[in-house]
Chain A
Amino acid sequence: MLTSYGILISALVDGLSYAMMIFVISAGLVIIFGLMDVFNLAHAVLFALGAYFFIQIYLLTGNYYLSFILPVIIGFVVGALIERVLIKPLYGKHVLQLLLTMGIMILFLQIIQITWPAGIYFPETDVWILSGTINVLGTRIRVYKFIVILGGLIVFTVIDLLLSKTRFGAMLRAGTENRELAEAFGINISFLFTIAFSLGCALAFLGGALVAPLTHATIELPVTFTLLSFVVPVVGGMKSYRGSFFASLLIGIIDRLVAYYFSWLSFAIDLLIMIVVLLIKPEGLFGGE
């Protein structure tokens, strides 16, 4: 029997896994927008492509690890190509960036619809971690949701260590603060930006691959997450990956709790949270960090 505690636990686990889902996608956007000031409307579609590639590779190989790693590599390469060929001439030109990345978004959506017109679904497997459930206070919860939570925490830790403890991270932060000075320090800003953009795209693909066993891959995926991928950095602070992490937790948990208990409000809750935060702290929770 489903107890009220069971429902709450289920909602919280759902919220945490949902939070990690949106954190991984928005972390890439924070790197791309926070460092490079590039407004990338195609980011959520890259996330969706990660999910599509994951499931397709898994259907072909049956190997989870390969299905997870290959999309990340593909995402990195796609990001590098987009940055070198398309984005590079448009630094500082936000309107043109918006139009270009909108074009990329539409192109990739078309490719998705042509290649997978009915979407693509992650199959039932006998692998317990992927398809199994556990009983928590009378509620059956998908084991994989805990994998998503763990995955999100690992991504946060790795980004945190990369940006705060490595020379590469210091150069990224320096380039964010003052691009011209970074060049005067001898930093190859052009190469750094390519790496940063590629990393952001790889994170988007990683996010899609991570959540694909839960969400499957359908055309609704990019549509749903396009708005969220921007709401989270706005709430957390556009240039703060820590802000994105805590904003994801806030939005993810509240969103799922509302969906469970006040479903009539669920369609607007994310935007309401954003509005409240912006009214109280316009720069975002960790804005100015």
Chain B
Amino acid sequence: MTHHILEVDNVHTYVSGYHILQGVSFKVEEGKITTILGRNGVGKSTLLKTIMGILKPVQGRIIFKNLDITPLPPHKIINMGIAFVAAERAIFGGLTVEENLSIAFNGNREEYEPRLEKIFEIFPDLRRLRKLKARNLSGGQQKMLAIACGVIKQPNLMMLDEPSEGLSPVFVRRVMETIEKLKEEGTTILLVEQNFNAVKKIAEFCYFMDKGQIVYQSEIEDINKHPEILTRYLGVSL
């Protein structure tokens, strides 16, 4: 039986008076990698911020682990088991690598060192860079640190906003491999992207967003059979 860890039900969100999310509804199956695809400006980042509680919808509900999290403040939502990796400025440049990880960690103090050690096993580059200010890392290293800050929480659901943006193909591959590994370890992944090629090998289900609404949904394999969908909603072809 399919269990959905996250359900977004008819959510409407305004930003600075603009109606950005116009009745968004979708579900994320537990243990899978779900992706939401769409062009710039369709409301993908607004959707993630709404789920996290940074923006509040004027209508609709967000259900996480069978609980209505719509009215909750962001820190309570995050500490229920969601991690979020933003598209830009996803880490604190003025803090060191280790300080970023320290404030991202939300468990008991005695669990911190073992979990930090695990992070350094997954992201070995971060071990030697731990005392460096995060602003001095390369773009790819900053993205790895941002993901590590999500992983250290051991979330049930990890949401990533355009993780491939601004990265070289090598780093994109590394990021996607890391995401796939997280999924294999039991983390549900929600990927928001406009780059289909970056996610097509790892995503299992996808939604397409356009003008603040979910306009299409399908298994990833079906996209290969209907490439005109990419042209229609992303303006690209396979």
A interface residue numbers (CB < 8 A to B): 167, 170-171, 173-174, 176-178, 180-190
For residue A69, give the distance in angstroms from its CB to the closest CB of chain B. Answer: 29
Measured CA separation A188–B106 after assembly (Å): 11
User: Count the B residues whose beta carbon is within 8 Å of the partner chain — how many?
Assistant: 24
Measured CA separation A190–B74 after assembly (Å): 10
User: Are B74 and A174 closer than 8 Å at their CB atoms?
Assistant: no
Measured CA separation A185–B52 after assembly (Å): 10
User: Are A181 and B86 closer than 8 Å at their CB atoms?
Assistant: yes
User: Are A177 and B90 closer than 8 Å at their CB atoms?
Assistant: no
Given pairs A176-B94, A183-B53, 12 additional interface contacts (CB within 8 A): A170-B99, A170-B102, A174-B92, A177-B93, A183-B54, A183-B73, A184-B52, A184-B54, A185-B104, A186-B78, A187-B103, A188-B73
Q: Which residues of A contact B153 (CB under 8 A)?
A: 186
User: Are A173 and B74 closer than 8 Å at their CB atoms?
Assistant: no
User: Are B74 and A183 closer than 8 Å at their CB atoms?
Assistant: yes
B132 contacts A by Cβ under 8 Å: no
Closest to B90 in A: A181
Closest to A179 in B: B54
Interface of A is mostly: helix
What 9 pairs between A and B have smallest CB-CB spacing? A186-B78, A183-B74, A188-B75, A170-B99, A174-B92, A184-B84, A186-B75, A170-B103, A186-B106
Give which listed residue, B53, B73, B78, B94, contacts A185 with CB less than 8 A: B78
Q: Which residues of B contact A180 (CB under 8 A)?
A: 54
A187-B94 in contact given A170-B99, A178-B89 (Cβ < 8 Å): no
A167-B92 in contact given A180-B54, A185-B149 (Cβ < 8 Å): no
Q: CB within 8 Å of A: which of B65-110?
A: 73-75, 78-79, 84, 86, 89-95, 99, 102-104, 106
For residue B110, give the distance in angstroms from its CB to the closest CB of chain A. Answer: 14
User: Are A190 and B92 closer than 8 Å at their CB atoms?
Assistant: no
A184-B78 in contact given A170-B103, A178-B89, A190-B73 (Cβ < 8 Å): yes
Measured CA separation A250–B149 after assembly (Å): 41
Q: Could you list 15 examples of A-B contacts with CB < 8 Å?
A: A170-B95, A170-B99, A173-B95, A177-B93, A177-B95, A180-B54, A181-B92, A182-B92, A183-B52, A183-B73, A183-B75, A183-B78, A185-B78, A186-B79, A187-B103
Q: Which residues of A contact B53 (CB under 8 A)?
A: 183
Measured CA separation A173–B100 after assembly (Å): 11
User: Are A177 and B75 closer than 8 Å at their CB atoms?
Assistant: no
User: Are A186 and B104 closer than 8 Å at their CB atoms?
Assistant: yes
For residue A287, give the distance in angstroms from its CB to the closest CB of chain B. Answer: 14
A187-B95 in contact given A170-B102, A171-B103, A174-B103 (Cβ < 8 Å): no
Q: Which residues of B contact A185 (CB under 8 A)?
A: 78, 103-104, 149
